[in-house]
Structure 1
Amino acid sequence: MDGKPGLRERKKQRTHAAISDAAITLFLEHGFNQVSVAQVAEAAEVSKRTLFAYFPTKEDLVVHRLADHETESARVVRARPPGTAPLTALREHFLKGLRDRDPITGLNDHPAARRLHRMILDAPSLVARMARFKTGAEHALTEALRETADTPEVTARLAAVQIVAVHWALAQDNAERLAYGEPADERYAGAVADTEHAFALLENGLRHLPPQQ
């Protein structure tokens, strides 16, 4: 076995990608609420039944592209080097995201990224789905803090809520500034300063989170 996916799995991956690409293209061109699932299925040349087998809801056609980020903070906490506090690892990871212009930090001024952000904000069902995404991130980070920092459940949960909220607020602020025309390169220094300030505020209340043993 060479570890490569088989023919059936490769076909499933191509179908998944075709549906996703067709959906995003249509949504960005016409608006999320203006495009039906049937139109997406037709553009992707699949049946509605097949589409729903890959994407259970219309909102999943958009949010799935952010799925890996739902547990990103939890992964960072689990992978941090020994002796590194959770907040230190998370701050450095977010700062790296800013340097790399990772869209999840909001600091990406590619036209497609801007349009995707505006599309999400303009669709109430997508805003609600993103709230569920945020809750999932809080749960995942709570478990990571409990497992790696020997943190009591209530402390881990309250810490996770604050950390995820800060990430969310920083990314939203960056994305909104870019949506109004501020270039990412000009925003970068301010985004870094805001990130350092935000994590300094967190550290004042969360400084007792122990480092990885």
Structure 2
Amino acid sequence: MESLRERKKERTRQAIADAAISMFLARGFEQVSTADVAASVEVSKPTLFRYFPTKEDLVVHRFADHIGEHARVVRARAGGERPLAALHRHFREGLARREPVTGLCDEPAVLAFHRLVFETPSLASRVADIGLQDVGSLAAAFAEAVPGASAARPRLLAVQVIAVHLALARANWARLADGRPAADVHDEAAAEAADAFALLGDGASGSGF
């Protein structure tokens, strides 16, 4: 019974989110109210807010799977591989796979979703906030990787890594939004990522990161 109940809750949650994103894409985030979304799936507003505490959560929940990803990459790196090198490799591999989180995915649905996020100030702000949630876990992973680092350095570097990742993803999406196919943008995106991680590495030179 508990399993059935949980599956029903997940179906309801997914139905609410799918309806919301569809409506936001069609009419704009500001033009659709939470009452509109609730009515479209025949649930009450209190029910909607039990699943999604804010209107922005109806969209940005799609990023939840990536929370903690940077720290996982650092902890799972091969022996001898430096943390920044592992993060660069992971981003580079994401570009090759056209992972949406890298911004280099030209599937129409993904492009439209990224346009909704990046061109809606409150959503872009929430995505940045989600990135900040990763700072603590990444800083902890950095501190484990380089035990002799000063107390402040792992956190300062983590902030920079998260900011760089978001900036790279947004730049990649902007290129695709201009009509360029991902295949044509890939080499440029990879070179920009290499430059970004080189800059991070220069800043952390001699510290073991």
TM score, norm. by length of structure 2: 0.93
Q: Which moved more, 1:161-170 or 1:58-67?
A: 161-170
Superposed CA deviations along residues 83-138 of structure 1, whole A, max 9, x for unmatched, are 22101110110011001100110101111111112212332211221221121122
Unaligned runs of 5+ in 2: none
Residue 209 (structure 1) shift: 4.3
Superposed CA deviations along residues 57-89 of structure 1, whole A, max 9, x for unmatched, are 000000110112232111111211222210111
Higher relative contact order (CA 8 A, sep 6+): 1
2:84, 2:197 within 8 Å by CA — same for their partners in 1? yes
Give the equivalent residue in structure 1 for 2:175. 177
Give the equivalent residue in structure 1 for 2:41. 44
Task: Supply the AA of the counterpart residue of 2:154.
Answer: A
For residues 175 and 14 of structure 1, what CA distance do their matches in structure 2 show?
30
Unaligned runs of 5+ in 1: none
Residue 6 (structure 1) shift: 1.1
Relative to structure 1, is the Cα distance of residues 209 and 86 closer, same or farther in structure 2, using a 3 angstrom cutoff? farther
TM score, norm. by length of structure 1: 0.91
2:131, 2:162 within 8 Å by CA — same for their partners in 1? yes
Give the equivalent residue in structure 2 for 1:33. 30
Give the equivalent residue in structure 2 for 1:204. 202
2:117 aligned to 116, 120, 137, which one? 120
Give the equivalent residue in structure 1 for 2:70. 73
For residues 59 and 206 of structure 1, what CA distance do their matches in structure 2 show?
35
1:28, 1:115 within 8 Å by CA — same for their partners in 2? yes
Residue 45 (structure 1) shift: 2.1
- Percentage of matched positions with identical amino acids: 52
1:155 aligned to 153, 156, 169, which one? 153
For residues 56 and 107 of structure 1, what CA distance do their matches in structure 2 show?
30
